[in-house]
Chain A
Amino acid sequence: MCGICGCGTSEMVDTAPATLAEHRHDHDHDAGGARMVRIEQDIMAKNQRYADANRHYFAAHGIFVVNLMSSPGAGKTTLLVRAVEALKGRVPVAVIEGDQQTGLDAARIAATGVPAWQINTGKACHLDAHAIGHALDHLPALDGGILFIENVGNLVCPAGFDLGEAHKVVILSITEGEDKPLKYSDMFHAADLMILNKTDLLPYVTFDADAAIAYARQVNPQIDVQAVSGLFGDGLEAFLAWLDVGSIRAQQAAQQATLSNKVVVGDRIVVERRAG
C-alpha cells in the first residue's frame, strides 16, 4: 500500500547517519585507503518499519489482525473457511493468503463470499510486512473488522517476520508429532495462541495432547491453547470468542485514539526484534 509504506514514490531507506569508526591500525594500507565504517544496522529493521506502518494503520482503523502459521497441511485453510463463514455478516472480514504458488487457497476463501487476496511468494518461504501492505490495496475497507493472514506453510521462517499483526497463531495438527513445539521452538515462542487442529482424528492417532501443551509452555509459558476440528467445527466457539474479544479491543482502542486525537502505536523499537 503506497499510502502506508511510501514505496513507488520514495523507498524507505535508513536515514540514521552512519558514523566513522576510529581509524584502526590493525590493517595495512596497501589496499588504497580502506576504512572502517560503524553502521549498527539491524537487518530486520526494514521489515520492522513496514510492520510498524501496517500496525499503525490497523490500529487507526480498529482492525484486528491475526497471522496464522503452521506446517503445510495442518489445516489452516479449512479452519479459516469455518471461521470466516461464522464471522461474515457480523463484522467486516478479509483474508490474505500466502503460498509459494497457486491461487487455490484464496479461491476457497472467496467461495464463502469473503474477500481474499493471494500473495504468491515464489521462491520465498515466508510473507513479509511489505507484501502485506500492498495486499491491503486489493481488499475492501475493513474498519472495525478482522483480517486473517494465512502465512506460507512453514514452521520455521514465518516466525521471524513481524507483519504488523496483533497476534501470531500457530496451528499444530494432531497428525503431526506432539514434540513439534520443541523441534520448532522459534515458532512456538513467537505465537500467542496454539490451536490443536484435527481433533476428530484423535481416536486414530497416538498424539499426546498434554505433552504437546507442556512442550509449548516450556518454550513459551504465556501461550494460550485451544483445540478444534476445523473439518467439523468442534471447539470453534472458543476461537470465535477469542477473535471477538480481540476485535472489540481493537475497535475500542481506535475509538479512544480518535477521541484523544492520537493514534495508538505498538511499543516496538527497531533496534532489536521483539523478545516475545
Chain B
Amino acid sequence: MHEMALCESVVQALGEQAAAQGFARVTAVWLEIGALASVEPEAMRFGFDVVTRDTVANQARLEIIEVAGEAWCMQCAARVGLQRFGEACPQCGGYQLQVLTGQQIRIKQIEVM
C-alpha cells in the first residue's frame, strides 16, 4: 500500500530514537512485517533507500523479517495459518476466521554507531 509513508514513519522513529539515546548513525534496521499487513517488502526496500538519504539512517541496511499470518478458525476451534484475507481455513475450507497475528509492521532492533 503506502510503503513510502511507512518508510517515512520508520525514519521518523529512528530520528526520535537517535535524539533520545544519543547515537549519530543507524547502520542497520530489522523490520518485522506480517503477511496480513498489506505491505510489499520489495516496495519497502525501494522506499527505504530513497527516504533514508541524508538522514540518521543514510545507507543503512534494511533486514526484513517476514512473519506468517495466523487466525482462529471458529469451526475447527484451532489456530491455523492465513496468508491473506479471503483465504479459506486449510483444515475445513471454511471462512469463519478471526485474525490472531500477522498485521504488524514493527522495528525490532537497530544497529547504531
Contact indicator B111/A272 (Cβ below 8 Å): no
- Find out whether the CB atom of A34 lies under 8 angstroms from the CB atom of B1: no
Question: A259 within 8 Å of B by Cβ?
Answer: no
Asked if A157 and B1 make an inter-chain contact with CB atoms under 8 angstroms apart, the answer reads yes
Complex Cα distance A60/B107, Å? 33
Contact with A272, one of B84, B101, B113 (Cβ below 8 angstroms): B101
Closest chain A residue, CB of each to CB of B5: A124
Residue contact B109 to A39, C-beta cutoff 8 Å: yes
Interface size of B as a range: 35 or more
- In whole Å, how far is A101's beta carbon from the nearest beta carbon of chain B? 17
Known: A36-B109, A42-B104, A276-B99. A186 touches B13 (CB 8 A): no
Q: Known contacts being A35-B112, A182-B86, is A273 close to B103, with CB within 8 Å? A: yes
Query: Does A37 touch B at the CB level, under 8 Å?
Result: yes
Residues of A within 8 A of B55 (CB): none
Q: Which of A32, A38, A46 contacts B113 (CB 8 A)?
A: A32
The answer to the question of B98 belonging to the interface, with a C-beta cut-off of 8 Å to chain A, is: yes
Q: Is the interface of B mostly helix, strand, loop or mixed?
A: mixed
Q: Is the CB of B86 within 8 A of A181?
A: yes
Q: Which residues of B contact A276 (CB under 8 A)?
A: 98-99
State the CA gap A39–B2 with chains docked (Å): 23
> Does B66 have its Cβ within 8 Å of any Cβ on chain A?
no
Residues of B11-44 at the interface with A, using a CB-CB cut-off of 8 Å, are 12-13, 16-17, 20-21, 23, 27, 31, 36-38
Contacts of A203 in B (CB 8 A): none
A33 and B108 CA atoms in complex are apart in Å by 20
Shortest CB-to-CB span from A65 to chain B, Å, is 22
Check B112 against A37 for contact (C-beta < 8 Å): yes
Partner of B2, one of A21, A160, A218: A160
Q: Per a CB cutoff under 8 Å, which of A31, A39, A272 touches B27? A: A31
Contact, CB under 8 Å: A41 / B107: yes
Q: Which 8 A-B pairs have the closest CB atoms?
A: A185-B85, A275-B99, A219-B86, A189-B85, A185-B86, A43-B105, A157-B1, A157-B2
Residues of A at under 8 Å CB distance from B? 13-14, 18, 21, 27, 31-44, 46, 124-126, 156-157, 159-160, 181-182, 185-186, 188-189, 215, 217-221, 272-276
